[in-house]
């Protein structure tokens, strides 16, 4: 069954990750991917602003990172969850922390939904 973009956008809490959003997220994704390297994780801990400047991040993108606004990073910034998760290796946030933020829940609320059979 083929669905249109409009159909997908009618689902509450859903956004479409398309080519335009992917291109928009290039700098963010390149920055997050760079955190695979120990020296970049250390550089972020020592001077986050300098590292983010090196990757050309905007003030808005930097604010989302500082505030750990995972949903804005993905939905508005075009960040890919698989590379955004690299930030967790620096901040101590697990994939579950990010998932909870995506759903607007506390970590405990989110983890409780993982224990319920048939939970969305």
Least confident range from 8-17, 32-41, 45-54: namely 8-17
Q: Taking a C-beta distance cutoff of 8 angstroms, is the pair 24, 77 a contact? A: yes
**pTM, two decimal places:** 0.81
Name the nearest CA neighbour of 70 among 48, 101, 38, 27: 101
Residue 41 sits at φ, ψ, to 5 deg, of -65, -40
Query: How is domain 15-91 classified at the CATH fold level?
Result: Protocatechuate 4,5-dioxygenase; Chain A (1.10.700)
Task: Look over the chain and give the mean of its residue pLDDT values, rounded to a whole number.
Answer: 87
The CA-atom distances, in angstroms, between 93 and each of 85, 97, 101, 112, 117 are 8, 6, 11, 18, 25
The secondary structure of residue 79, as a DSSP letter, is -
Q: Which pLDDT does position 118 carry in this prediction?
A: 61
pLDDT confidence bin for 57, thresholds 50/70/90: very high
Domain ranges of the chain: 15-91
Least confident range from 4-8, 25-29, 94-98: namely 4-8
pLDDT surpasses 60 at 84: yes
Alpha-carbon distance 26 to 78, whole Å? 8
**Residue with the larger pLDDT of the pair 104 and 42:** 42
């Amino acid at each position: 069954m083929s669905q249109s973009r409009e159909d997908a956008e009618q689902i509450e809490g859903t956004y479409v990750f398309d080519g335009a959003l992917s291109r928009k997220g290039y700098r963010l994704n390149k920055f997050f991917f760079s955190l695979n390297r120990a020296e970049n994780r250390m550089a972020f801990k020592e001077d986050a602003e300098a590292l983010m400047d090196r990757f050309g991040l905007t003030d808005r993108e930097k604010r989302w990172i500082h505030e750990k606004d995972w949903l804005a990073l993905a939905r508005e910034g075009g960040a890919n969850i698989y590379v955004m998760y690299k930030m967790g290796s620096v901040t101590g946030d697990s994939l579950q922390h990010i998932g909870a933020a995506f759903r607007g829940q506390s970590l405990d609320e989110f983890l409780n939904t993982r224990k319920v059979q048939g939970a969305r």
